[in-house]
């Protein structure tokens, strides 16, 4: 009787790219079960599975076990994971340049960075390795599951959502991340004083963000009369409008996506709210 050879151990980059059973289906919607496809709820992402470069794959293989975690429903111990640092959740970090810059600028703050874009995970790991940053953890999968099942109440010092998919067509507006159902999920996870920071270059989405966030009595707009550049009195807003936008904080770097939008003539809006 002959015994079969043991299966080779897949590298982190191979596991993430192949999306085997060990990784949760919500990270890879094309592998979701029929029941998951029928589930009607907001999702934190539009699936993107671009090709990884060799450098990104290599960074994943070197750094995933140290800095990465799958969004699989397992509750997280944030104080242990981040060695006591206050933790801000960042949903959708793209290629990771902004996340890495903010992590390097403040090593005393922890960043839990969630995304589904595997090349972006590899790219961010390259930046962390370059900068020697130890205060970031990468979460692979749907941030809604992360919030719902894995984070304790009052465990977050902040939430960042920079340039989420605007879903511009009216019939797709229900897919936007920033809406009341998402806020109901987020608010219990935010500690008192936690900062909620959103940014978008899509004007109608910015207006929706303000309406959703200001509708919550648990949140305070830090720039209730702001037009995005300075403080204004209500009477100074056109037609009595009250945008409620904040100036871009110095600590938020201008992103590559943002520069692209500005080149197209888009207006970027930041929103800063605090958990009461």
Q: Could you list the residues known to form a binding site for S-adenosyl-L-methionine, using ranges.
A: 90, 115, 142, 165
Catalytic residues: 165
> β-pairing, 219-221 with 136-140?
unpaired
The two structure tokens encoding residue 190: 């935010």
Q: What is the C-alpha separation between 110 and 160, in angstroms, rounded?
A: 12
Q: What is the C-alpha separation between 50 and 88, in angstroms, rounded?
A: 26
- Cite the annotated binding site by residue number: 90, 115, 142, 165, 169, 201, 255-258
Please give the angle made by the CA atoms of 193, 248 and 239, to the nearest 5 degrees.
Answer: 95
Q: What is the C-alpha separation between 250 and 51, in angstroms, rounded?
A: 33
DSSP label at 154? T
- Cite the annotated binding site for substrate by residue number: 169, 201, 255-258
Please enumerate in sequence order all residues whose Cβ is within 8 A of that of 69, keeping only pairs 6 or more positions apart, or say none: 76, 137, 138, 139, 140
């Amino acid at each position: 009787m002959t015994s079969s050879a043991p299966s080779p151990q897949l590298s982190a980059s191979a596991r993430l790219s192949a999306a085997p059973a060990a990784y949760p289906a919500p990270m890879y919607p094309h592998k979701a079960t029929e029941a998951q496809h029928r589930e009607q709820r907001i999702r934190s992402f539009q699936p993107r599975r671009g090709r990884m470069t060799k450098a990104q794959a290599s960074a994943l293989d070197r750094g995933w076990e140290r800095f990465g975690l799958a969004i699989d429903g397992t509750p997280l111990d944030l104080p242990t994971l981040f060695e006591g640092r206050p933790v801000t959740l960042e949903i959708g970090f793209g290629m990771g340049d902004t996340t890495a810059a903010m992590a390097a600028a403040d090593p005393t703050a922890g960043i839990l960075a969630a995304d589904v874009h595997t090349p972006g995970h590899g790219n961010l790991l390259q930046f962390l390795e370059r900068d020697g940053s130890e205060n970031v953890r990468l979460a692979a999968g749907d941030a809604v599951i992360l919030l719902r099942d894995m984070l304790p109440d009052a465990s977050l010092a902040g939430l960042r959502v920079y340039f989420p998919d605007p879903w511009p067509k009216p019939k797709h507006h229900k897919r936007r991340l920033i809406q009341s159902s998402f806020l109901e999920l987020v608010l219990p996870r935010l500690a008192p004083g936690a900062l909620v920071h959103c940014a978008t270059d899509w004007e109608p989405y910015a207006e929706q963000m303000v309406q959703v966030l200001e509708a919550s009595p648990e949140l305070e707009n830090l720039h209730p009369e702001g037009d995005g550049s300075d403080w204004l009195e209500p009477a100074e807003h056109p037609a009595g409008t009250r945008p409620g936008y904040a100036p871009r904080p110095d600590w938020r770097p201008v992103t590559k996506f943002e520069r692209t939008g500005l080149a197209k003539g888009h207006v970027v809006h930041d929103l800063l709210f605090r958990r009461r």
